[in-house]
Amino acid sequence: MDDAAVLKKRRYVLGMKLGEGSYAKVKCAYSEKLKFNVAVKIIDKKRAPRDFLERFLPREIDILAKVNHCSIVKTYEIFEISDRKVYIVMELGVQGDLLEFIKTRGSIPENVARKMFYQLGSAIKYCHDLDIVHRDLKCENLLLDKDFNIKLSDFGFSKCLSRDEDGKITLSKTFCGSAAYAAPEVLQGIPYEPKIYDIWSLGVILFIMVCGSMPYDDSNVRKMLKIQKEHRVHFPRSKTLTIECKDIVYQMLQPDVSRRLNIDEVLSHIWMQTPKSQGPSPALYAKAGECSRNLEEVKSEHKQENEPQAETKTDKKHEFKTATKLNLSVNAEDAVQEEGQTEIDVLADQMQKTQIKNGSN
Protein backbone atom coordinates (compact mmCIF):
# COMPACT_ATOMS: atom_id res chain seq x y z
CA MET A 1 0.00 0.00 0.00
CA ASP A 2 1.44 3.37 -0.97
CA ASP A 3 1.77 6.34 1.38
CA ALA A 4 -1.26 8.18 0.00
CA ALA A 5 -3.51 5.16 0.60
CA VAL A 6 -2.15 4.60 4.12
CA LEU A 7 -2.72 8.22 5.07
CA LYS A 8 -6.11 8.37 3.39
CA LYS A 9 -7.32 5.65 5.75
CA ARG A 10 -6.43 7.97 8.61
CA ARG A 11 -8.17 10.92 6.95
CA TYR A 12 -5.09 12.69 5.60
CA VAL A 13 -4.94 13.88 1.99
CA LEU A 14 -1.30 13.69 0.92
CA GLY A 15 0.17 16.75 -0.79
CA MET A 16 3.49 18.06 -2.04
CA LYS A 17 6.92 16.87 -0.94
CA LEU A 18 8.70 19.24 1.44
CA GLY A 19 12.01 17.42 1.67
CA GLU A 20 13.71 14.06 1.34
CA GLY A 21 16.70 12.30 2.88
CA SER A 22 18.35 8.93 2.42
CA TYR A 23 15.68 7.04 4.35
CA ALA A 24 13.03 9.63 5.23
CA LYS A 25 10.88 12.20 3.49
CA VAL A 26 8.51 14.92 4.62
CA LYS A 27 5.28 15.71 2.82
CA CYS A 28 2.49 18.18 3.34
CA ALA A 29 -0.97 16.74 3.98
CA TYR A 30 -4.43 18.04 4.76
CA SER A 31 -6.04 16.60 7.89
CA GLU A 32 -9.75 16.10 7.41
CA LYS A 33 -10.08 15.70 11.18
CA LEU A 34 -8.08 18.77 12.22
CA LYS A 35 -9.24 20.84 9.22
CA PHE A 36 -5.79 22.24 8.43
CA ASN A 37 -2.52 21.27 6.77
CA VAL A 38 0.11 19.22 8.59
CA ALA A 39 3.58 17.85 7.86
CA VAL A 40 4.07 14.08 7.68
CA LYS A 41 7.52 12.61 8.18
CA ILE A 42 7.70 9.17 6.57
CA ILE A 43 10.60 6.96 7.66
CA ASP A 44 11.45 3.86 5.65
CA LYS A 45 12.85 1.46 8.25
CA LYS A 46 14.01 -0.98 5.57
CA ARG A 47 16.45 1.64 4.24
CA ALA A 48 17.53 3.08 7.58
CA PRO A 49 20.79 1.97 9.27
CA ARG A 50 20.60 -0.28 12.31
CA ASP A 51 22.07 2.31 14.66
CA PHE A 52 19.32 4.74 13.71
CA LEU A 53 16.59 2.15 14.25
CA GLU A 54 17.95 0.90 17.56
CA ARG A 55 19.00 4.18 19.18
CA PHE A 56 17.98 7.40 17.51
CA LEU A 57 14.48 6.64 16.24
CA PRO A 58 13.18 5.21 19.56
CA ARG A 59 14.60 8.23 21.39
CA GLU A 60 12.99 10.66 18.97
CA ILE A 61 9.58 8.99 19.18
CA ASP A 62 9.75 8.83 22.97
CA ILE A 63 10.69 12.51 23.30
CA LEU A 64 8.12 13.71 20.76
CA ALA A 65 5.46 11.96 22.82
CA LYS A 66 6.65 13.76 25.97
CA VAL A 67 7.19 17.38 24.93
CA ASN A 68 4.39 19.93 24.89
CA HIS A 69 5.45 23.54 24.53
CA CYS A 70 4.16 26.45 22.46
CA SER A 71 7.57 26.94 20.80
CA ILE A 72 8.09 23.27 19.93
CA VAL A 73 6.51 21.76 16.83
CA LYS A 74 3.41 19.82 17.87
CA THR A 75 3.22 16.10 17.16
CA TYR A 76 -0.33 15.00 16.41
CA GLU A 77 0.12 11.31 15.71
CA ILE A 78 2.79 8.62 15.35
CA PHE A 79 2.01 5.24 13.81
CA GLU A 80 3.74 2.33 12.10
CA ILE A 81 2.47 -0.03 9.40
CA SER A 82 3.35 -3.59 8.50
CA ASP A 83 5.77 -2.78 5.67
CA ARG A 84 8.09 -1.14 8.19
CA LYS A 85 7.30 2.51 7.65
CA VAL A 86 6.88 5.00 10.49
CA TYR A 87 4.64 8.04 10.02
CA ILE A 88 5.04 11.10 12.26
CA VAL A 89 2.30 13.71 11.79
CA MET A 90 3.45 17.14 12.93
CA GLU A 91 2.63 20.81 12.92
CA LEU A 92 3.49 22.47 9.59
CA GLY A 93 5.92 25.40 9.53
CA VAL A 94 3.97 27.36 6.96
CA GLN A 95 6.55 30.15 6.69
CA GLY A 96 9.49 27.78 6.17
CA ASP A 97 12.59 27.71 8.35
CA LEU A 98 14.73 30.42 9.91
CA LEU A 99 17.64 29.89 7.54
CA GLU A 100 15.49 30.48 4.48
CA PHE A 101 13.92 33.50 6.18
CA ILE A 102 17.34 35.11 6.81
CA LYS A 103 18.63 34.13 3.38
CA THR A 104 15.70 35.87 1.74
CA ARG A 105 15.25 38.90 3.99
CA GLY A 106 18.64 39.45 5.58
CA SER A 107 19.60 39.90 9.22
CA ILE A 108 16.90 40.41 11.82
CA PRO A 109 16.64 43.68 13.84
CA GLU A 110 17.55 43.17 17.50
CA ASN A 111 14.06 43.88 18.84
CA VAL A 112 12.57 41.20 16.61
CA ALA A 113 15.50 38.80 17.12
CA ARG A 114 15.05 39.16 20.88
CA LYS A 115 11.42 38.07 20.67
CA MET A 116 12.23 35.10 18.42
CA PHE A 117 15.28 34.08 20.43
CA TYR A 118 13.27 34.24 23.65
CA GLN A 119 10.82 31.77 22.13
CA LEU A 120 13.68 29.44 21.25
CA GLY A 121 15.30 29.89 24.66
CA SER A 122 12.06 29.12 26.46
CA ALA A 123 11.71 25.90 24.43
CA ILE A 124 15.27 24.87 25.36
CA LYS A 125 14.67 25.68 29.04
CA TYR A 126 11.54 23.53 28.94
CA CYS A 127 13.57 20.65 27.50
CA HIS A 128 16.57 21.11 29.80
CA ASP A 129 14.29 21.23 32.86
CA LEU A 130 13.03 17.80 31.76
CA ASP A 131 16.64 16.62 31.27
CA ILE A 132 16.06 16.48 27.51
CA VAL A 133 18.77 17.79 25.19
CA HIS A 134 18.41 18.56 21.48
CA ARG A 135 22.03 18.28 20.22
CA ASP A 136 21.24 19.50 16.71
CA LEU A 137 20.17 23.11 17.14
CA LYS A 138 20.52 25.05 13.89
CA CYS A 139 18.57 27.52 11.80
CA GLU A 140 17.20 24.79 9.50
CA ASN A 141 15.56 23.13 12.50
CA LEU A 142 13.71 26.28 13.56
CA LEU A 143 10.42 26.48 11.70
CA LEU A 144 8.18 29.54 11.47
CA ASP A 145 4.42 29.52 11.87
CA LYS A 146 2.01 31.83 10.06
CA ASP A 147 2.87 34.68 12.47
CA PHE A 148 6.64 34.03 12.21
CA ASN A 149 6.88 32.53 15.70
CA ILE A 150 9.72 30.06 16.30
CA LYS A 151 8.90 26.36 16.41
CA LEU A 152 11.73 24.01 17.41
CA SER A 153 11.78 20.84 15.33
CA ASP A 154 13.82 17.72 14.51
CA PHE A 155 14.58 15.76 17.66
CA GLY A 156 16.50 13.10 15.74
CA PHE A 157 19.66 13.51 17.86
CA SER A 158 17.90 14.37 21.10
CA LYS A 159 18.09 12.21 24.21
CA CYS A 160 16.96 12.01 27.82
CA LEU A 161 19.93 12.51 30.10
CA SER A 162 21.08 10.02 32.68
CA ARG A 163 22.58 10.93 36.05
CA ASP A 164 24.97 9.18 38.41
CA GLU A 165 24.22 8.29 42.03
CA ASP A 166 25.18 11.82 43.08
CA GLY A 167 22.73 13.37 40.64
CA LYS A 168 25.43 14.60 38.29
CA ILE A 169 24.68 14.47 34.56
CA THR A 170 26.53 11.68 32.76
CA LEU A 171 28.76 13.05 30.02
CA SER A 172 27.89 12.11 26.44
CA LYS A 173 30.31 10.28 24.16
CA THR A 174 28.17 10.42 21.02
CA PHE A 175 29.47 13.36 19.02
CA CYS A 176 26.60 14.51 16.87
CA GLY A 177 25.06 17.56 15.25
CA SER A 178 26.25 19.88 12.51
CA ALA A 179 29.87 21.02 12.37
CA ALA A 180 29.09 24.73 11.91
CA TYR A 181 27.01 24.72 15.12
CA ALA A 182 29.12 22.26 17.13
CA ALA A 183 30.95 23.32 20.28
CA PRO A 184 34.77 23.01 20.50
CA GLU A 185 34.64 20.16 22.99
CA VAL A 186 32.47 18.19 20.56
CA LEU A 187 34.78 18.88 17.62
CA GLN A 188 37.72 17.66 19.72
CA GLY A 189 36.02 14.40 20.66
CA ILE A 190 35.96 15.23 24.38
CA PRO A 191 33.10 13.72 26.44
CA TYR A 192 30.72 16.63 26.93
CA GLU A 193 27.80 17.93 28.98
CA PRO A 194 24.95 17.98 26.44
CA LYS A 195 23.07 20.94 27.92
CA ILE A 196 26.18 23.11 27.64
CA TYR A 197 26.60 21.90 24.04
CA ASP A 198 23.10 23.19 23.24
CA ILE A 199 24.07 26.63 24.58
CA TRP A 200 26.96 26.94 22.13
CA SER A 201 24.60 26.17 19.26
CA LEU A 202 22.22 28.86 20.56
CA GLY A 203 25.10 31.34 20.37
CA VAL A 204 25.73 30.48 16.74
CA ILE A 205 22.02 30.84 15.95
CA LEU A 206 21.73 34.27 17.59
CA PHE A 207 24.85 35.47 15.76
CA ILE A 208 23.28 34.40 12.47
CA MET A 209 19.99 36.09 13.35
CA VAL A 210 21.47 39.52 14.07
CA CYS A 211 24.39 39.41 11.60
CA GLY A 212 22.93 37.46 8.68
CA SER A 213 26.15 35.43 8.37
CA MET A 214 28.02 32.57 10.03
CA PRO A 215 30.37 33.33 12.95
CA TYR A 216 32.86 30.67 11.82
CA ASP A 217 33.93 29.07 8.55
CA ASP A 218 33.55 25.30 8.90
CA SER A 219 35.15 24.52 5.53
CA ASN A 220 38.38 24.04 7.52
CA VAL A 221 37.46 22.50 10.87
CA ARG A 222 40.98 22.62 12.33
CA LYS A 223 41.24 26.30 11.57
CA MET A 224 37.74 26.98 12.91
CA LEU A 225 38.52 25.11 16.12
CA LYS A 226 41.64 27.15 16.78
CA ILE A 227 39.67 30.39 16.41
CA GLN A 228 36.92 29.08 18.71
CA LYS A 229 39.35 27.94 21.40
CA GLU A 230 40.91 31.42 21.41
CA HIS A 231 37.41 32.82 22.05
CA ARG A 232 37.51 35.04 18.99
CA VAL A 233 34.10 36.25 17.84
CA HIS A 234 34.17 38.83 15.09
CA PHE A 235 31.01 40.80 14.35
CA PRO A 236 30.70 42.28 10.84
CA ARG A 237 31.45 46.00 10.69
CA SER A 238 28.36 46.56 8.56
CA LYS A 239 26.08 45.64 11.49
CA THR A 240 25.36 48.07 14.32
CA LEU A 241 24.70 45.90 17.35
CA THR A 242 24.28 46.85 20.99
CA ILE A 243 26.97 45.97 23.49
CA GLU A 244 24.46 43.80 25.34
CA CYS A 245 23.69 41.77 22.21
CA LYS A 246 27.36 41.17 21.49
CA ASP A 247 27.93 40.20 25.11
CA ILE A 248 25.29 37.48 25.24
CA VAL A 249 26.60 35.98 21.99
CA TYR A 250 30.17 36.15 23.29
CA GLN A 251 29.23 34.42 26.55
CA MET A 252 27.36 31.64 24.78
CA LEU A 253 30.32 31.10 22.44
CA GLN A 254 32.61 30.57 25.44
CA PRO A 255 35.05 27.69 24.79
CA ASP A 256 35.54 27.11 28.53
CA VAL A 257 32.55 24.94 29.41
CA SER A 258 32.80 25.94 33.10
CA ARG A 259 32.23 29.57 32.11
CA ARG A 260 29.65 29.13 29.34
CA LEU A 261 26.17 30.31 30.25
CA ASN A 262 23.43 27.86 31.14
CA ILE A 263 19.90 28.34 29.80
CA ASP A 264 18.68 30.20 32.91
CA GLU A 265 21.59 32.63 32.61
CA VAL A 266 20.83 33.12 28.92
CA LEU A 267 17.20 33.99 29.62
CA SER A 268 18.14 36.32 32.50
CA HIS A 269 20.87 38.15 30.55
CA ILE A 270 20.36 41.91 30.35
CA TRP A 271 19.84 41.77 26.58
CA MET A 272 16.92 39.41 27.08
CA GLN A 273 15.44 41.69 29.77
CA THR A 274 15.30 44.76 27.53
CA PRO A 275 11.62 45.73 27.05
CA LYS A 276 10.34 43.50 24.29
CA SER A 277 8.75 45.14 21.29
CA GLN A 278 5.79 43.50 19.63
CA GLY A 279 7.86 43.13 16.49
CA PRO A 280 6.79 43.90 12.93
CA SER A 281 3.50 42.56 11.74
CA PRO A 282 3.42 39.64 9.28
CA ALA A 283 2.61 42.18 6.58
CA LEU A 284 5.97 43.86 7.15
CA TYR A 285 7.75 40.53 7.09
CA ALA A 286 6.27 39.86 3.67
CA LYS A 287 8.27 42.75 2.24
CA ALA A 288 11.80 41.97 1.16
CA GLY A 289 14.18 43.49 3.69
CA GLU A 290 17.89 44.03 3.43
CA CYS A 291 19.48 41.10 1.66
CA SER A 292 23.05 40.45 2.71
CA ARG A 293 25.50 39.65 -0.06
CA ASN A 294 26.68 36.82 2.16
CA LEU A 295 23.38 34.99 1.79
CA GLU A 296 22.71 35.08 -1.92
CA GLU A 297 24.40 31.77 -2.65
CA VAL A 298 22.83 29.78 0.17
CA LYS A 299 20.96 26.69 -0.99
CA SER A 300 17.42 26.19 0.23
CA GLU A 301 17.61 23.01 2.30
CA HIS A 302 15.77 21.79 5.36
CA LYS A 303 16.74 18.75 7.39
CA GLN A 304 18.99 16.04 6.00
CA GLU A 305 18.98 12.43 7.10
CA ASN A 306 22.51 11.07 7.27
CA GLU A 307 23.61 7.60 8.15
CA PRO A 308 25.53 7.38 11.42
CA GLN A 309 29.30 7.35 11.06
CA ALA A 310 31.32 4.32 12.08
CA GLU A 311 33.03 4.26 15.45
CA THR A 312 36.57 5.59 15.65
CA LYS A 313 39.53 3.74 17.08
CA THR A 314 38.79 5.36 20.44
CA ASP A 315 35.31 3.79 20.38
CA LYS A 316 33.61 7.18 20.26
CA LYS A 317 30.63 7.72 18.01
CA HIS A 318 30.51 10.68 15.65
CA GLU A 319 27.13 11.62 14.21
CA PHE A 320 27.96 14.82 12.38
CA LYS A 321 25.80 16.33 9.66
CA THR A 322 26.78 19.01 7.20
CA ALA A 323 24.73 22.13 7.83
CA THR A 324 23.47 24.35 5.07
CA LYS A 325 25.97 27.18 4.96
CA LEU A 326 25.80 30.93 5.08
CA ASN A 327 29.00 32.57 3.93
CA LEU A 328 31.38 33.87 6.57
CA SER A 329 30.92 37.55 7.35
CA VAL A 330 33.57 40.04 6.25
CA ASN A 331 36.35 40.41 8.85
CA ALA A 332 34.98 37.42 10.73
CA GLU A 333 38.20 35.42 10.56
CA ASP A 334 41.92 36.02 10.92
CA ALA A 335 44.67 34.05 9.22
CA VAL A 336 45.53 31.07 11.39
CA GLN A 337 48.07 28.31 10.93
CA GLU A 338 46.53 24.85 10.61
CA GLU A 339 47.11 22.29 13.35
CA GLY A 340 47.96 18.67 12.74
CA GLN A 341 45.68 17.10 15.31
CA THR A 342 44.82 13.52 14.40
CA GLU A 343 41.44 13.40 16.15
CA ILE A 344 40.31 16.62 14.49
CA ASP A 345 41.48 15.34 11.12
CA VAL A 346 39.24 12.30 11.55
CA LEU A 347 36.24 14.44 12.43
CA ALA A 348 36.89 16.84 9.58
CA ASP A 349 37.16 14.01 7.07
CA GLN A 350 33.90 12.51 8.30
CA MET A 351 32.10 15.83 7.99
CA GLN A 352 33.43 16.44 4.50
CA LYS A 353 32.18 12.99 3.43
CA THR A 354 28.67 13.60 4.76
CA GLN A 355 26.36 13.92 1.78
CA ILE A 356 23.27 16.14 1.76
CA LYS A 357 20.11 15.44 -0.13
CA ASN A 358 17.12 17.76 -0.21
CA GLY A 359 16.58 18.33 3.48
CA SER A 360 13.59 17.24 5.50
CA ASN A 361 12.45 18.41 8.90
Asked if residue 331 has pLDDT above 60, the reply is no
The domain limits of the chain are 3-91, 98-353
pLDDT tens digits for range 125-134: 999 999 999 9
pLDDT at residue 306 in the model: 36
> In this predicted structure, what is the pLDDT of residue 324?
52
Please pick, among 2, 51, 131, 136, the residue that the annotation labels catalytic.
136
Per-residue pLDDT reduced to its tens digit, 116-156: 999 999 999 999 999 999 999 999 999 999 999 999 999 99
Model pLDDT for residues 275-316, shown as the tens digit of each residue: 654 444 444 344 333 333 343 333 333 333 333 333 333 344
What are the phi and psi torsion angles at 12 (to 5°)?
-115, 135
Rounded mean pLDDT of the chain? 82
pLDDT of residue 344: 53
The domain 3-91 is placed in CATH, from the list 3.30.200.20, 2.30.30.30, 3.30.70.360, 3.40.50.300, at 3.30.200.20
> Is 145 part of the annotated catalytic residue set?
no
What pLDDT sits at residue 323? 54
Show binding-site residues for ATP.
41
Binding residues: 41
Is 1.10.510.10 the CATH classification of the domain at 98-353?
yes
User: What pLDDT sits at residue 276?
Assistant: 52
What integer pLDDT is reported at residue 40 of this predicted model?
A: 97
